[in-house]
Structure 1
Amino acid sequence: MTKGLHVPSEIGKLRKVCLHRPGDELLNLPPDELERLLFDDVPFLEVAQQEHDTFAQILRDQGVEVLYLENLVAEVFDQVPGARAEFTDQYIAEAGIRGQHMPQIVREKLDSIEDNLEFVKKTMAGMTKSEIDMPLTASTTLDSLVNSESESDLIIDPMPNLYFTRDPFAVVGEGVNLNRMYSVTRNRETLYGKYVFKYHPDYKDVSLYFRRDCQFHTEGGDVLNINEKTLAVGISQRTQAAAIDVMAQNIFWNSDSKVERILAFDIPVSRAFMHLDTVFTQIDVDKFTIHPAIMGTLRVYELTAGKNPGDVNIRLIEDTLEHVLEDATGVDQVKLIPCGGGDPIAASREQWNDGSNTLCVEPGKICVYARNTVTNDVLYKEGLDLLVVPSAELSRGRGGPRCMSMPFWREDL
């Protein structure tokens, strides 16, 4: 398989995808700290892993090469001298470790893990007090002593949202946005992408259109490749308008980029509309799944390159989602298929379980969660080929098949 990235659309035949198999980070989720860690519930890890393995196998059965984020990072550390030490420094600096001596104790614990894959998984899982033997010595500071007796059992937070590989970075054509995420909890996840795109022999030469040290925040769930020339981005709770300004500057004047316009969708700030891909996803050349609450007139801003390098033209479009998508795709008539079949209770229930968050494997063939029976029935009747993923535990993280996948390569349409 070729090196580099190539994702010119949402629906071209999927050839290569990056996933993260849920790991011990889900075991380090204390129920009283769920809100801070952006989780609503504690998934049963063993079943979540079984479901995720089924998802990966469904993709392989469709001819997709499945890459795991943890393996890509471990390969970097196996092949690039000094990369692991550089990563460890940065990881510890961003880990929020309290106490004067604790960072050094954590470093020694991490350095003692010889296998690079196990090391990567440990950094994702976080660290608890019970893992560290803290002798009370004369050199102990009051700060470290008080913190060792604080309510939280966590020294380093886990990264439970990591199996949603859609968000820390977003592939745009041949390049990538390495995001600065909305919350401190999730922003550490982008560190893994940094080392993949900085050092991995297959991906180190790709263009970066956004960097994790940018002052504005954005997440991959808000980025949809409509086609080679048109990118859709959500202005949402998780993606600031100013971040889209930065993207436009870096995308329009990069020789690797073929994107000529960015459509910025102004979507409501609420949990149901967390990202643009919870509002609509493309499933065929002329079909989209949508959240019914987004119907009506939308505010969409069209960004295009100005005459001089650095100039961006912005035009407000106030129109229906249907018309905006018809213009963007160049299709005469698009079909919007509502989550829950338009029934308000079914729609809100199945939207909660990501009924309109689908992963297109090729035009008209999509991965969906098994539990969204009403929406799936509607999709069947519209002639779509459904690849059904078991989802009792995976869905507790509030993300669907699209959220759980970051395409690295799609065929051209």
Structure 2
Amino acid sequence: MEKTVKSLHVTSEIGKLERVLLHRPGKEIEHLIPSNMERLLFDDIPFLPTMQKEHDAFAAALQERGTEVVYLERLVEESILDEVVKGELIEAFLKESKNHLHKGYSILREYLDSLDTPSLVKKLMEGVLKKDINHHQKLQLDDLISAHYPFYIDPLPNLYFTRDAAAVIGEGLTIHKMSTSARKRESLFWEFIMKYHPNYRVHSHPQWLKRNYPFALEGGDILVLSDEVIAIGVSERTSARAIEQLAHNLLLAGTSYKRVMAVEIPKKRAFMHLDTVFTMVDRDKFTIHPEIEGLNGHMNIFILELDREKEVQISRRSNLSEALKEVLHLPEIALIPCGGGDTIFSPREQWNDGSNTLAIAPGVVITYDRNQVTNELLAEYGIEVIEVPSAELSRGRGGPRCMSMPLVRS
């Protein structure tokens, strides 16, 4: 009898990864140019052919261990059921891009309407160039945008970090208001998938937080530690207000979840999300970048849970190790320092996502090959390390966990 796999089910960071969402980098990467790369959150311009080979190796490593790989663009295409849905997506996308506010809206709408579904999805992801529009219409639009800037609609080069736009918790989903204007449109795709895709709209999946919530939350800050506890980073990209609202919605929903652990990390580009400085690799083992811990290991950690009156109460902790043992009911845990805690190797490897491991089963992780010191240390702790090439993927400042959105874990 064939095994039935649920559409969405994640109650662990380390349970066997059954199904995962990826996005293979596409032409949106080649649409990074010196004048837009910083605004679009890149420090450099990757070489796409090598980047795609590395991403294919990442996908192959997952598939070799029995994980079903699902691609974002295919889910979006399958969600566009008819011309009405297609028009709704185009309208929403142009509004998110602020193109409904000027006279060029009708020209851009006509152009996008003319595309077939696969071409439309690619174009929404890779951006609309001036040269895409015919000459007469281009002249009408040219007075709206700098003559030297080649785009009418910016590309979405961060899409290959599928972790951030939405996150599965239990059998529900959070769809996020992204922190930066460069990424806000990314979560729009998940809104349409949940509304129209045949595999998702027919199921009852609660939405713990919707993308119209006014405060930012991103998936790289969410770690599903168990079926009772999630950890969320209070970071450069995730607001404490969003965490409080998510905790309220999740804890009052009658699920197995009892606690939300909010972990404050320094709000700077190098750290970005909680999973760039802290990940779970086994039942009692975690990677950590030592710089997030203050003097004597002191940190700002907040436990959100319901009191007897079903109100969310917040209590404070100051030590990450002790807090983890408490919420996970463990006698001991191991915090494995990125780069071995060395003053040179640690910041170098953290910059290249040495702490951003993707667990595909308890004690089995995928990492970037470039983080040699961290990978050797993980192996010394009994972790099986599957290395993937990372010369170009790492230029986007995100590792294997960032590049993957678990849909189902056993």
Fold in common (TM above 0.5):
yes
C-alpha deviations, 1:362-398, integer Å up to 9, x for none? 0110000011111111112222111111101100000
User: Following the alignment from structure 1 to structure 2, what is the Cα–Cα distance between the partners of residues 149 and 212?
Assistant: 31
Q: CA, structure 1 residues 99+332, in 2 after alignment: closer, same or farther (shift >3 Å)?
A: closer
- Name the aligned partner's letter for residue 95 of structure 2: A
Alignment length (residue pairs): 402
1:227 maps to: 226
Q: What percent identity do the matched residue pairs reach?
A: 46
Conservation of the 8 A alpha-carbon contact between 1:96 and 1:156? no
Question: Within the alignment, does 1:152 sit opposite 2:149 as a pair?
Answer: yes
2:98 maps to: 96
Deviation, structure 1 residue 155: 0.7
1:108 maps to: 110
1:42 maps to: 45
Conservation of the 8 A alpha-carbon contact between 1:80 and 1:199? no
Conservation of the 8 A alpha-carbon contact between 1:8 and 1:225? yes
Q: Secondary structure at the match of 1:302?
A: strand
Conservation of the 8 A alpha-carbon contact between 1:280 and 1:357? yes
Structure 1 unaligned residues grouped into runs of 5+ = none
2:300 maps to: 299
- Name the aligned partner's letter for residue 7 of structure 1: V
Q: Secondary structure at the match of 1:187?
A: coil
| Deviating more after overlay: 55-64 vs 370-379 | 370-379
C-alpha deviations, 1:141-190, integer Å up to 9, x for none? xxx44335533211101000000000001111111110001011101100
| Deviating more after overlay: 45-54 vs 144-153 | 144-153
Conservation of the 8 A alpha-carbon contact between 1:283 and 1:358? yes
Question: Within the alignment, does 1:177 sit opposite 2:178 as a pair?
Answer: no
1:270 maps to: 268
Conservation of the 8 A alpha-carbon contact between 2:107 and 2:137? no
Structure 2 unaligned residues grouped into runs of 5+ = none
Structure-2-length-normalised TM-score: 0.94
1:60 maps to: 63
Deviation, structure 1 residue 17: 0.4
User: Following the alignment from structure 1 to structure 2, what is the Cα–Cα distance between the partners of residues 98 and 248?
Assistant: 35
2:35 maps to: 32
2:339 maps to: 340
C-alpha deviations, 1:317-347, integer Å up to 9, x for none? 12x2211111122221111111111111111
Conservation of the 8 A alpha-carbon contact between 2:222 and 2:274? yes
Q: Secondary structure at the match of 1:271?
A: coil
Q: Secondary structure at the match of 1:399?
A: coil
Q: Where do residues 114-193 of structure 1 align in structure 2 (5 Å cutoff)? A: 114=116, 116-135=117-136, 140=140, 144-193=141-190
User: Following the alignment from structure 1 to structure 2, what is the Cα–Cα distance between the partners of residues 305 and 198?
Assistant: 31
1:284 corresponds, among 274, 282, 290, to 282
Question: Within the alignment, does 1:213 sit opposite 2:188 as a pair?
Answer: no
C-alpha deviations, 1:177-214, integer Å up to 9, x for none? 10001011101100111011112122223110111111
Q: CA, structure 1 residues 134+202, in 2 after alignment: closer, same or farther (shift >3 Å)?
A: same
User: Following the alignment from structure 1 to structure 2, what is the Cα–Cα distance between the partners of residues 314 and 349?
Assistant: 35
Deviation, structure 1 residue 273: 1.9
User: Following the alignment from structure 1 to structure 2, what is the Cα–Cα distance between the partners of residues 80 and 240?
Assistant: 37
Q: Secondary structure at the match of 1:165?
A: coil
- Name the aligned partner's letter for residue 14 of structure 1: L
Conservation of the 8 A alpha-carbon contact between 2:339 and 2:345? yes
Question: Within the alignment, does 1:315 sit opposite 2:315 as a pair?
Answer: yes
C-alpha deviations, 1:19-65, integer Å up to 9, x for none? 11111110111112111111111111111111111101110110001
1:194 maps to: 191
Deviation, structure 1 residue 272: 2.4
Q: CA, structure 1 residues 378+156, in 2 after alignment: closer, same or farther (shift >3 Å)?
A: same
Q: CA RMSD in A?
A: 1.7
Conservation of the 8 A alpha-carbon contact between 1:179 and 1:219? yes
Structure-1-length-normalised TM-score: 0.94
- Name the aligned partner's letter for residue 331 of structure 2: D
Conservation of the 8 A alpha-carbon contact between 1:165 and 1:405? yes
User: Following the alignment from structure 1 to structure 2, what is the Cα–Cα distance between the partners of residues 124 and 94?
Assistant: 13
User: Following the alignment from structure 2 to structure 1, what is the Cα–Cα distance between the partners of residues 142 and 350?
Assistant: 46
